[in-house]
Amino acid sequence: GQQLNQSPQSMFIQEGEDVSMNCTSSSIFNTWLWYKQDPGEGPVLLIALYKAGELTSNGRLTAQFGITRKDSFLNISASIPSDVGIYFCAGIAGNQFYFGTGTSLTVIP
């Protein structure tokens, strides 16, 4: 099945820095999602986006649904050690659900 491309694949940042990651696809999606997977746990939904151009925040996290509907972006401001984990994007088109390849985030105290 299709897999969405996420970049970067991994990030090592200092505590307090801002983080940006993105997700791209060759197909159009109606919904974009961002999940976080803590070590040893399952993915947990962070943000859901339903309209092209939509910008949605959840605390220090902000995500955007790209205008072309083929991409999405996630920003984390003022990172803290508990932000460590793997961030996955996901796109939904009808009944089809596709995951991104993941971005592994390490925050250095």
User: Which residues in this chain contact another protein in the complex, by CB under 8 A?
Assistant: 1, 3, 31, 33, 35, 37, 40-45, 48, 50, 86, 88, 90, 92, 95, 97, 99, 101-102, 104
Name which of 73 and 88 has its Cβ closer to another protein: 88
Name which of 73 and 99 has its Cβ closer to another protein: 99
Name which of 94 and 109 has its Cβ closer to another protein: 94
Name which of 77 and 98 has its Cβ closer to another protein: 98
Q: Please, what is the minimum distance in Å from the beta carbon of residue 19 to another protein?
A: 18
Q: Please, what is the minimum distance in Å from the beta carbon of residue 68 to another protein?
A: 20
| Secondary structure (DSSP) of the chain | ---BEEE-SEEEEETT--EEEEEE-SS--SEEEEEEE-TTS-EEEEEEE-STT-EEEETTEEEEE-TTSSEEEEEE-S--GGG-EEEEEEEEETTEEEEB--EEEEEE-
Nearest to 19, CA basis, from 98, 99, 108: 108
Q: Please, what is the minimum distance in Å from the beta carbon of residue 42 to another protein?
A: 4
